[in-house]
């Protein structure tokens, strides 16, 4: 069973285990086009966009994963569906995009095809060098075991 | 919004589709159901094979439209605009 753990201890600024509380559980991700689209592009001698690296925040409150719209502009992917998203003031329809999601630097298996919401989360602080580009919701978490160990400042993924 | 035409058509025939294909995933282009599939990925793969990079809709056939929740965005906890 591949396991990945990230320790927020020692903290570089706030003191243990403050960073986990402040920035939340984060994991490095790369978001790319699904294999089916990559194969189509290759077979037509079109360039396959490189996956976009960044950081994802684990959001157990979200039923679906969201990815920053800038990623889809870079990948030049079209929406593949429309989802209804509920909010405090009713619901709205939002574009859904196809995306492959992998976890570089870990042994965790990536997921080649996901339907994710496009959103705008640019500029959100992560405490890391890379920008926040995704909120990982329960649609992805259903494939993983996720442990949030607050006192130890430790998160663990396995699948 | 892209795919509004396809979604409108899908919703217009949703009740009929549910009778025979509930739970499957429909591949819709313009006002035509190209096919239904057991997995969303299969529908997407078929859509790419047939339409390439042109837009097409992949939608699960359910009696009612599910409502997704992303409180961090919709409540504005992040600086996000969906």
Q: What is the CATH number of the domain that holds A42?
A: 2.40.70.10
Intra-chain end-to-end CA distance of chain B, in Å: 13
Which of B47, B52, B70 lies at the smallest CB-CB distance from A62? B70
Q: Do A82 and B48 touch (CB under 8 A)?
A: no
Pick from A88, A64, A116: which is nearest to B66 by CA? A64
Q: Do B73 and A40 touch (CB under 8 A)?
A: no
Give every strand in the sheet of A3-7, ordered side by side: A3-7, A154-158, A145-149
Pick from B3, B82, B13, B6: which is nearest to A90 by CA? B82
Nearest chain A residue to B3 by CA: give it.
A81
Q: Do B65 and A84 touch (CB under 8 A)?
A: yes
Check if the beta carbon of residue B67 is closer than 8 Å to that of residue A64: no
User: What number is the ipTM of this complex?
Assistant: 0.90
DSSP A69-117: HHHHHHHTPPP-EEEEEEETTEEEEEEEEEEEEE-TTS-PPPEEEEEEE
Which of B58, B66, B78 lies at the smallest CB-CB distance from A80? B58
Intra-chain end-to-end CA distance of chain A, in Å: 6
Pick from A75, A79, A119: which is nearest to A98 by CA? A79
pTM above 0.95, yes or no: no
Q: Do A120 and B81 touch (CB under 8 A)?
A: yes
Q: Are strands A52-58 and A132-136 parallel, antiparallel or unpaired?
A: parallel
Q: What residues in chain A have per-residue pLDDT under 70?
A: 10-16
Q: pLDDT tens, A64-84?
A: 999 999 999 999 999 999 999
Chain A residues within an 8 Å CB radius of B3: 79-82, 95
Q: Do B44 and A87 touch (CB under 8 A)?
A: no
Check if the beta carbon of residue B68 is closer than 8 Å to that of residue A64: yes
Q: Which residues of A touch B (CB under 8 A)?
A: 34, 36-37, 40-41, 44, 59, 61-64, 66, 76, 78-88, 91-95, 98, 112-113, 115, 117-124, 135, 137
Q: For residue A19, what pLDDT is reported?
A: 81
Report whether pLDDT(B80) > 50: no
Other beta carbons less than 10 A from residue A117's beta carbon: 27
Check if the beta carbon of residue A83 is closer than 8 Å to that of residue A94: yes
Q: Do B1 and A123 touch (CB under 8 A)?
A: no
Tell me the shortest Cα–Cα distance from A130 to chain B, in angstroms: 17
Task: Give the mean model confidence (pLDDT) for residues B51-77.
Answer: 90
- Looking at the structure of chain A, the number of domains it has is 1
Averaged pLDDT of chain B: 92
**Residue ranges making up the domain that contains A124:** 3-158
Q: For residue B81, what pLDDT is reported?
A: 47
Q: For residue A105, what pLDDT is reported?
A: 92
Nearest chain A residue to B43 by CA: give it.
A80
């Amino acid at each position: 069973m591949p396991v990945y753990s990230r320790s927020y201890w020692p903290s570089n600024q706030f003191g243990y285990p403050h960073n986990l509380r402040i920035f939340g559980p984060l994991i490095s991700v790369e978001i790319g086009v699904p294999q089916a689209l990559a194969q189509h592009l290759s077979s037509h001698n079109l360039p396959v966009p490189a996956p976009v690296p960044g950081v994802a925040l684990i959001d157990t409150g979200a039923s679906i994963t969201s990815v920053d719209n800038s990623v889809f502009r870079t990948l030049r992917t079209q929406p593949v569906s429309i989802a209804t998203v509920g909010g405090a003031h009713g619901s709205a329809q939002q574009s859904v995009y196809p995306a492959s999601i992998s976890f570089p630097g870990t042994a965790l298996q990536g997921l080649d095809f996901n339907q994710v919401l496009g959103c705008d989360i640019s500029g959100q602080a992560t405490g890391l060098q890379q920008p926040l580009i995704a909120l990982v919701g329960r649609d992805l978490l259903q494939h993983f075991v996720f442990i949030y160990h607050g006192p130890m400042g430790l998160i663990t993924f396995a699948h | 919004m892209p795919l509004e035409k396809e979604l409108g058509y899908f919703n217009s025939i949703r009740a009929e589709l549910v009778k025979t294909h509930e739970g499957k995933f429909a591949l819709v282009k313009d006002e035509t159901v190209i096919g239904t599939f057991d997995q969303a990925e299969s529908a997407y793969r078929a859509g790419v094979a047939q339409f390439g990079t042109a837009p097409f809709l992949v939608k699960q056939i359910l009696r009612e439209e599910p409502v997704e929740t992303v409180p961090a965005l919709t409540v504005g906890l992040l600086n996000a605009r969906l």
